[in-house]
Amino acid sequence: MKGNSMLAKGRFLPLLVWVAGLLIVWEALSWVLLNVVHTPLAQSKLPYVHELVATLFQYAGTLLKEGAATFGNAGIGFLLGAAAGVLLAVLMSVSKTIEQLTFPYAIASQMIPILGLAPIIYGIVRDEQISRIIISGYITFFPVSLNMLRGLRSVNLSALELMHSYAAKPWAVYWKLRLPAALPGLFSGLKIAAPLAVTGAILVELMGAQHGIGVIMLRNLYYGPSHTYMFWSTILVGAFLGMASYGLMSLIERLVAPWQPEFRPKGGSR
């Protein structure tokens, strides 16, 4: 336990030093802009850290409530998009015809700028919750399907031939060989898509939704310098939601696929 505690300190100490240094530089630059350079609207461009922290505590209830609305809808869309991506990847790995029919359309769908697609979806659906779920699922779908397909095809050929020599059923090959081999690729896609799903949900909220962290962000941007600290607080909460979604995927990956080299102690030994 003592060794683990020291290891944890060794891993997190550089991060703590880096964060503390960044906050000190931020506070100093804010003071310089306001008192030395006399930059117009200096606090809007780089607010004081201590004032920002005070605002976060003061409006913690509101930020948590609206952040939960954003995170919840993004999470539903993320799960639906991930399920669709996994299903398509499995179908494409089974049939080359399905891959040739669907993959070009999946690639073409990513050519549509999400900034233009979000208002179109919101205008058609006219429901902020469903719109957030659709956009989050749309963003999640492609990276999950692409990385899952790559993982399914990364199976060692000798292991595949061994399964075939035992006359293993196709479902047994997938369940015992291909799906475990695809987990690292799947989680790579999930970790890419999770923060993007949150960003997509916030983008829809900026189109005129009633609830969500994007709504507060837009309102405080509209009111200008008098709401600078609240605007910056919403940005920090949005960033935190993105990092939390990535961290959650990393934690699940560690629990589901602990055999990966980066999770093994002492540089990869089991």
pLDDT confidence of residue 269: 46
pLDDT confidence of residue 56: 92
C-alpha 46/C-alpha 53 separation (Å) is: 13
Q: What is the mean pLDDT of residues 25-43?
A: 87
The class that CATH gives domain 47-259 is: mainly alpha
> In terms of pLDDT, which residue wins out, 44 or 229?
229
Average per-residue pLDDT for the chain: 86
pLDDT confidence of residue 163: 85
Indicate the angle between helix axes 179-205 and 60-94, nearest 10 degrees: 140
Q: What is the mean pLDDT of residues 78-102?
A: 92
Q: What is the mean pLDDT of residues 47-74?
A: 92
| Domain boundary assignment for the chain | 9-42, 47-259
- Return the DSSP state at 95: -
Q: Which amino acid is present at 266?
A: K
Q: What is the mean pLDDT of residues 98-106?
A: 86
Number of helices (H) and strands (E), helices first, in the chain?
A: 12, 0
Asked if residue 266 has pLDDT above 80, the reply is: no
**What confidence tier does 166 reach under pLDDT thresholds 50, 70, 90?**
confident
Tokens of 221: 């941007």
Asked if residue 158 has pLDDT above 50, the reply is: yes
Q: What is the mean pLDDT of residues 103-131?
A: 84
- Residue range 224-258, pLDDT digits in tens: 667 889 999 999 999 999 999 999 999 999 998 88
pLDDT confidence of residue 270: 44
Kindly report the pTM of this predicted structure. 0.84
Tokens of 183: 């987990």
Contact at 8 Å (CB) between 193 and 139? Answer: yes
**What confidence tier does 164 reach under pLDDT thresholds 50, 70, 90?**
confident
Angle at 248 between CA 245 and CA 254, to 5 degrees: 145
Picking from 12-16, 253-257, 258-262, which range would have the lowest pLDDT averaged per residue? 258-262
| Nearby residues of 97 by Cβ (< 8 Å), 6 or more positions away | none
Contact at 8 Å (CB) between 147 and 189? Answer: yes
In order of 39, 85, 157, the CA distances from 137 in angstroms are 42, 9, 33
Helix or strand (DSSP H, E) at 37: none
pLDDT confidence of residue 113: 83
C-alpha 56/C-alpha 68 separation (Å) is: 15
